[in-house]
Structure 1
Amino acid sequence: MASNVDSAPKSTLPYPPIHKDKKFVVLSDWLVNLPHAADLTDHLGFGVEKRRQGNLDILAEKKTFRDAFREMLESVSANGHTFEECKEVLKKNITLDVGFRDFYRYCKEHDIPVVIISSGMAPLIRAVLSNLIGEEDAKEIEIVSNEVDVQPDGKWEIKYRHPTSGFGHDKSQAILPYRDLPDPPTVFFFGDGVSDMSAARHANVLYVKQKEGGDNDLAAYCRRESIPHILFEDFGHALRSVSAIVEGKKSAQDALAEGRA
């Protein structure tokens, strides 16, 4: 396979080393449930209607994710909400995905790295993870995401990993190095929204979370672009599918053909 390095957008942030000698790798957008009360833009920014329209504009390719997401976050900062306040709101309201503890335990037992690939900001993700699963387990999980710039006056803004990319964080760049290895692992990618569109074509097995309320933008994108994917409700369901592939009971192609975990 030809190298993808030359075409990669320059990253302003370091990457953790890739896991070169693994048979399977899990890359996941997020490991939690994001209830309505935890959406910063909906409650602290310009509201659910404009946030939803922004996502639809991204899906329709009228706006880039980078620009639309920056507008969402700027609306929170412009309303006077500090970064520390946002961190506390998320810690208070976000819950761990049902089944993730068992899923993570299975991955550790089978030497499968779990890496978060997020369009969010690392300090928020690390704070929420530490709160949900404890600091020791949280430290073991690598995070590839964006960062944040906080000014002395309290104003803050997102620092994109790939500022020249319309995705802000082009998640394909976390997957493609694995695809370029001489003996590449099977890469499982878990996503749920428009921030995952850059990753959708590149994982060996794409899992798309089925969300309540109709905001299933990644599933809509995959259907439109004819990208094979597996719908899952939570990591408990996903574990059944992943373990069947890991243990050789089912091929990745067969799992994708079924389309649901």
Structure 2
Amino acid sequence: MAPDKPYRWTGERLHGSQRNLWYDTTTTSSWSIQTFIMASSDTPALKNNPKFIFFTDFDGTVTTADSNDYMTDNLGFGVERRRQLNKDVLFGKMHFRDSFVEMLDSIKTPFDECVDILLKNIKLDPGFKEFYDWAQQNNVPIVILSGGMEPVIRALLDTLLGPGWDIQIVSNYVTAREGKTLKDEGGWRIEFHDDSIHGHDKSIEIRKYSSLPGRPTMFYAGDGVSDLSAAKETDLLFAKADRDLVTWCENENVPFVTFRDWSSITQTVKDIAAGTVSVKDAARGRI
């Protein structure tokens, strides 16, 4: 289990186990290291041999609003510039990684204050708790693939779902800038999950599963420009209505099913799991 405050995670192999080193990023000196030994696996969602896996974006998908957009709009350079950057990514004029750095660099508020503000303003999608409970009861692992920051996601889930939630998170990290701490103004920056143009190439995680023989049926839900790397990777894509991901899918001829909240996702996945609707039929177009 991860420590309960902002840490950077690195996965290190150790004699068939995975040593997780959590570096305390609240200070630039006296690094605190905690080591946890966990079962080695690149595909933890397969632990209980599920028939279905649900991959999902977090910000603006599991939640009603995007926490990074909220910070940028209210603590950073504002709505107009942020929307322009999203359009630039959407139409191929800019990579998401570069636009996201520009967004977050405009936020000077100390990291812990940012989290406190988000906890007061970001809400859970009204249908997600029902889906989460159903998934827990029916052996459907949920894997969050986020272009955002893991400490923010964990803090929000602790508040929105309550302690003890069971969801794998694959995301970016947060670290202190050189000579500063996370509690300083302008003291933090994002540390990306990988070196891709996306910052976090979500297809990498999904392909660990899609490349396996006899794999589970896989779903993905998303809403925006951080989801482009995942949009073509699963058996069924849910794209949030009237958002950037829908625009991109229409331009690229990528099949998808629209949703406005998780109640429709829940019903569709339940029907597929029960065998009353096939993935092929569900994927025929927008609903």
Q: TM-score band, normalised by the shorter chain?
A: 0.7 to 0.9
Aligned-partner SS, 1:69: helix
Distance 1:178 1:17 in 2: 7
**Residue 252 in structure 1 maps to residue 285 in structure 2:** no
TM-score of the two chains, using structure 1 as the length reference: 0.87
Q: What is the aligned counterpart of 1:144 among 161, 170, 175?
A: 170
Distance 2:253 2:190 in 1: 32
Match for residue 190 of structure 2? 158
Match for residue 91 of structure 1? 119
Are the counterparts in 1 of residues 124 and 160 from structure 2 also a CA contact under 8 Å? yes
Query: Structure 1 vs Structure 2: percent identity of aligned residues?
Result: 41
Moved more, 37-46 or 176-185: 37-46
Q: Give the superposition deviation at 1:51.
A: 0.1
Render the CA deviation track for 1:28-48: whole Å, top value 9, x for unaligned. Answer: 102111179971000100000
Aligned-partner SS, 1:135: coil
In the TM superposition, 1:101-250 aligns within 5 A as 101-137=129-165, 140-151=166-177, 152-153=180-181, 154=184, 155-162=187-194, 164-211=195-242, 216-250=243-277
TM-score of the two chains, using structure 2 as the length reference: 0.80
Distance 1:23 1:207 in 2: 18
Are the counterparts in 2 of residues 35 and 93 from structure 1 also a CA contact under 8 Å? no
Q: Give the superposition deviation at 1:183.
A: 1.1
Match for residue 102 of structure 2? 71
Residues 256 and 13 (structure 1 numbering): CA distance in 2 closer, same or farther, change over 3 Å?
A: farther
Are the counterparts in 2 of residues 28 and 116 from structure 1 also a CA contact under 8 Å? yes
Q: CA RMSD in A?
A: 1.8
Q: Give the superposition deviation at 1:52.
A: 0.1
Aligned-partner SS, 2:44: coil
Q: Give the superposition deviation at 1:186.
A: 0.8
Distance 2:142 2:115 in 1: 23
Letter of the structure 1 residue corresponding to residue 259 of structure 2 = F
Letter of the structure 2 residue corresponding to residue 159 of structure 1 = E
Match for residue 9 of structure 1? none
In the TM superposition, 1:15-26 aligns within 5 A as 17-20=43-46, 21-26=49-54
Structure that is richer in helix per residue: 1
Aligned length: 239
Greater relative contact order, per chain length (Cα 8 Å cut-off, separation 6+): 1
Structure with greater Cα Rg: 2
Letter of the structure 2 residue corresponding to residue 86 of structure 1 = C
Q: Give the superposition deviation at 1:173.
A: 0.9
Are the counterparts in 2 of residues 16 and 142 from structure 1 also a CA contact under 8 Å? no
Distance 1:190 1:68 in 2: 22
Letter of the structure 2 residue corresponding to residue 173 of structure 1 = I
Runs (5+) with no aligned partner, structure 1:
1-11
